[in-house]
Chains A and B, each alone.
Chain A
Amino acid sequence: MGIETSKGYKQVIKWLKLSRKKPFKFQTDAWQYYAEGYSGLVNAPTGFGKTFSIFLAVIIDELNTRADLEKIKPAKKTTGSKKKKPEGLKLIWITPLRSLAKDLARAMTEVCAQLELDWHVGVRNGDTTQNEKLKQKKQMPEVLIITPESIHLLLAQKSTFNYFEQLQCIVADEWHELLGSKRGVMTELAISRIKGLINEKNPERLLRIWGISATIGNMEQAMDVLVPYEDLLKTIIRSDIEKKIVIKSILPDHIDMLPWAGHLGFKLADKLLPIIRKSKTTLIFTNTRGQAEMWYQTLLAKDGNLAGLLAIHHGSIDFELRNWIEDSIHTGALKAVVSTSSLDLGVDFKPVDTVVQIGSPKGVARFLQRAGRSGHSPYETSKIYFLPTHALELVEAAAIKEAARTQDIESREPVVMAFDTLIQYLVTLAVGDGFDDEKIFFEVKQTHAFRELLPQEWNWIMQFITTGGDSLTAYNEFSKVTKVDGLWKVESRQIAMRHRLHIGTIVSDAMIKVKYISGGFVGMVEESFIARIKPGNSFTLAGRVLEFIMIKDMMALVRKSKLKQAISPSWMGGRISLTANLGSILRKKYNETLDKAHDDEELDIIFPLFERQAKVSHVPKSDEFLIELIHTRDGYHFFAYPFEGRQVHEIMASLIAYRLGRIKPISFSIAMNDYGFELLSEQEIPLDEENIKDLFTPKNLSEDIVASINATEMARRKFRDIACISGLVFQGYPGKYIANKHLQSSAALFFNVFSDYDKHNLLLRQAYDEAFYQQIEEPRLAAALHRIQASKVIIVKAQSYTPLCFPIKVDSLRDTLSSEELSQRIERMTAEAEKRNVKKNKYQKE
């Protein structure tokens, strides 16, 4: 039976007609499937009303239910004049970002009002006031927009089960964002509990679970992670509409305008200004917060007219300030905003008609997401400019264009077996109404994240939260979760309070708030950064030059500095690695450049550089593996180009160094970028055509990795987050003192203690697993080695640095030299290489 004949559908269509709108096919599909009781995943480009596909489905269902009720009890005379009592939660809408909630709630409330539906739309997240939360406790709104963390907080309250009696549907918005992180696991667990609660009370009740996602490589898997339940019908609804995206590179007049190696891209700033001028509002994306600060300064210095019309937005800028900037984008008051990934997601900024990406976005999905920030309305074209920061990035631009054309988009790997998150979840339940371990084990086992959970692992986790650990290690006097009336509960109010304060899986570095001495917050910087600054010195934040005065009450007090320029704080994180997809397209583009078998203007521009590379060395084809050996004053260089991304190269470099070390004792300094890596040694490297394939063999890979890298060190780094999430270490919040001084400790300390005294600790195992699969990416490394085995190895002994190796060479300097000297040194080295080429050419001519 079609939904078209239903009362609710007609009502919605009528309402849409009023504003001259017609639903898209994927929307009516979603409504139909929803009506039939399906769960699933909606995938459509941004700007086409993904939100309405599910939200209106729920509304139509509600309108129909009411119509049916009226049929059964036709307008029964109500005795009292009392309004109908609200029934409570009908729809839970999970969003990854707080900033999205406000606008969503506004839009949803509007729809309800216009359809004359007496629903309330509530928001619940870290910014929700206590007063509002109390109101919700008394009477839940029908629609609740919430973050994964806040759902867990809801589960950590007493008698939550009442909230979900009328719940019809849970929606995970921007599911592709949550999927690859532990926040996705939190979402999975919360859904499993809510579904379980409903099932306990009324096994016949249907709870639908829907996800909304941008296009990713593994849509099917994304749905299975969100809806792993066999009792639910599920489907993926894809829109057949294609979002038009225009990608344009900002090209230099001549390739020599661009440096060979990664600068900040300022050389092309003059070409960016006209683009900003002719657009309504431009979003300028950079890859790091430091880069954003510097571009902000540069643009202002280049064009004074931008003062007051240019803003800077990143995660370390104060919440209020960010809110103001977002509002100003809405109203069109700003001409341009320099931003990091902090504006990647979310609400549509209507005035934004142009997006600029500075430097490589490192992945197709991220690039397309950013492109989608412009031209947000249906059928409007998204326009994105790519501004390369060094010459070789032009090839990346061509690769990304191709990937966008062929929709070759990366997958997001869901997180599995995150014991830390499971431990946190169980304590959350114990803080709330308590839990029955058999029931919860069954529920947890159903989720995708813990499908492989073994009974003994579950037992260990139960021991960990009840007795402290397995019986081999004594944990006297341990108290956290205890059994009360058949349910596992947390009885200590202090423990409960501390737990509630740190629910969540986002662990940040210790941050310190920055405040003007005259009042007003600017933002946050890392504590380690401020520790290095002496009073009286200046730094930039939020585009302002600030003079540091002192630290007081865990806040850095500053005043406006008279200086025009100062150092920018370097925030940790930063370096994102190239994805495998992009790597393989990149190899293909190298093929095409010299053959001229393409129609990419970027590749035409870079052609002279490739000619130079071909002359002094070789341009690797996609079935070739290039190795360059160069002997300079610095020593013997060994460059290899697998094009697999920085992260894979880091491990591969130490692997090859280790294997070379077995031939003869030798020490290396290692450098890498997204294209390749370098090993540098004082002595000649024992390498020739004969042994090269043996060096890159996938045989004994795991053993050699363990031997070649410091796995313990990597695991220790991973353990930092794990210790926080599982509640071993309490970080506190920026600007707030850690509540209990007697309970201070560090993740590193716990790592040592467990390594020494409790080896069977599952959290330790998780740290090593995460190191191997996320940091080391062993499967990807193995695949790369297999590919190298199958390709033709080309070894070139070059006379001087080649255009390909140069960026790697420079990258290796970055660690030891300050940025000023670095730029000088780069200049000098470019000149040297150049001079040698000129000389060589002359020599050849003569």
Chain B
Amino acid sequence: MIVNCSGESLVLSKERAIYWEREHMLIISDLHIGKSAHFRKSGIQVPDTVGTTDLQRLSSLLEEFKPKILLVTGDMFHNKINSDALAFSVWRKNFPELSVILIKGNHDALKNSDYADLNIEVHQKELLCKPFRFIHDKPTVFDEYYNISGHIHPGVAIYGKAKQQLKFPCFYFGEHCSVLPAFSVFTGLKMLKPEEGDRFYAITPGKVIQV
């Protein structure tokens, strides 16, 4: 699905990513690499496949759109370097040409040297790239930039007859700010309540649909 946002055309992929063609930029958020390993280390059984699936999905996105830049709006890593993060570093070597930019989120707590080793460009707070501001959590004051953020793992409910209700991860586009769905499959959803002027794009198993 292609949407128009602040005069720019953005592709919304059902693999929970935005492709900004003009800048050859693939934008994702809340990758949470290492989350499953962190759980395993703490004695909670989460299969490895969860992490590897995320990386495979990312690979196929890169093949589909062939971007020059991969931008992650925060929460790329979950806590510390662990086996999942090592799997990422192997994966990273397959795409030496790709520049990876991270805007730090609340979970990103790797050492600076770790980011350097992984060849990731880190921005502490935000990245301005007209007309957008990329930032982990949406700011409280708004200016001329349109904010693209992540952090909350947005979800939306679709209601049917007979009290049926289905929940999906979604892209949210509001007046000043849009929110990306969490990229990782091992994440929960925060259900959003629609307000006037909001646009929601639900990610159903088959495709992205506007709600």
Is the Cβ of A473 less than 8 Å from the Cβ of B42? no
A757 within 8 A of B: yes
Contact string against B for A residues 472-500, beta-carbon threshold 8 Å, 1 for contact and 0 otherwise: 01111111110000000010101100100
Interface range for A: 35 or more
Contact string against B for A residues 739-752, beta-carbon threshold 8 Å, 1 for contact and 0 otherwise: 01011111011101
B93 within 8 A of A: no
Nearest residue, chain B, Cβ from A744? B188
**Cα distance, A490 to B42, chains bound together (Å):** 11
Given A468-B45, A749-B188, A753-B50, A477 contacting B37 (CB threshold 8 A): yes
Instruction: Indicate which residue in B37, B38, B42, B186 contacts A495 across the interface (CB closer than 8 Å).
Output: B42
Contact string against A for B residues 39-80, beta-carbon threshold 8 Å, 1 for contact and 0 otherwise: 111111111111001000000000000000000000000110
Q: How far is the CB of A506 from chain B (nearest CB, A)?
A: 21
Q: How far is the CB of B196 from chain A (nearest CB, A)?
A: 19
A111 within 8 A of B: no
Is the Cβ of B48 less than 8 Å from the Cβ of A476? yes
Instruction: Indicate which residue in A475, A479, A495 contacts B47 across the interface (CB closer than 8 Å).
Output: A475
Q: Most chain-B CB neighbours within 10 Å: which of A492, A494, A728, A757?
A: A757
**Cα distance, A490 to B43, chains bound together (Å):** 10
B82 within 8 A of A: yes
Q: Return chain A residues, CB-CB under 8 Å to B13.
A: none
Q: How far is the CB of A429 from chain B (nearest CB, A)?
A: 15
Contact string against B for A residues 654-675, beta-carbon threshold 8 Å, 1 for contact and 0 otherwise: 0000000000000001000000
* Chain A 424-471 interface residues, beta-carbon cutoff 8 Å to B: 464, 468-469
Instruction: Indicate which residue in B39, B43, B46 contacts A492 across the interface (CB closer than 8 Å).
Output: B43
**Cα distance, A367 to B49, chains bound together (Å):** 52
Q: Return chain B residues, CB-CB under 8 Å to A727.
A: 43-44
Is the Cβ of B82 less than 8 Å from the Cβ of A753? no
Q: Most chain-A CB neighbours within 10 Å: which of B42, B49, B78, B83?
A: B42
Nearest residue, chain A, Cβ from B187? A749
A815 within 8 A of B: yes
Instruction: Indicate which residue in B53, B83, B107, B162 contacts A477 across the interface (CB closer than 8 Å).
Output: B83
Is the Cβ of A728 less than 8 Å from the Cβ of B42? no
**Cα distance, A527 to B107, chains bound together (Å):** 26
A758 within 8 A of B: yes
Instruction: Indicate which residue in B35, B42, B47 contacts A474 across the interface (CB closer than 8 Å).
Output: B47
**Cα distance, A208 to B149, chains bound together (Å):** 65
Q: Return chain B residues, CB-CB under 8 Å to A756.
A: 49, 185
Is the Cβ of A815 less than 8 Å from the Cβ of B44? no
Nearest residue, chain B, Cβ from A815? B163
Is the Cβ of A473 less than 8 Å from the Cβ of B47? yes
Is the Cβ of B39 less than 8 Å from the Cβ of A479? no
Is the Cβ of A745 less than 8 Å from the Cβ of B188? yes
Is the Cβ of B37 less than 8 Å from the Cβ of A476? yes
* Chain A 144-170 interface residues, beta-carbon cutoff 8 Å to B: none
Q: How far is the CB of A842 from chain B (nearest CB, A)?
A: 39
Q: Return chain B residues, CB-CB under 8 Å to A480.
A: 43
24 CB contacts below 8 A, A to B, read A464-B45, A469-B45, A469-B47, A473-B48, A474-B48, A474-B49, A475-B47, A476-B84, A477-B37, A477-B40, A479-B43, A495-B42, A742-B35, A743-B39, A743-B44, A744-B188, A746-B188, A749-B186, A749-B187, A752-B185, A753-B46, A757-B47, A757-B50, A816-B163
Residues of B at the A interface (CB closer than 8 Å) are: 35, 37-50, 53, 78-79, 82-84, 107, 162-163, 185-188
Residues of A at the B interface (CB closer than 8 Å) are: 464, 468-469, 473-481, 490, 492, 494-495, 498, 669, 727-728, 740, 742-746, 748-750, 752-754, 756-758, 815-816
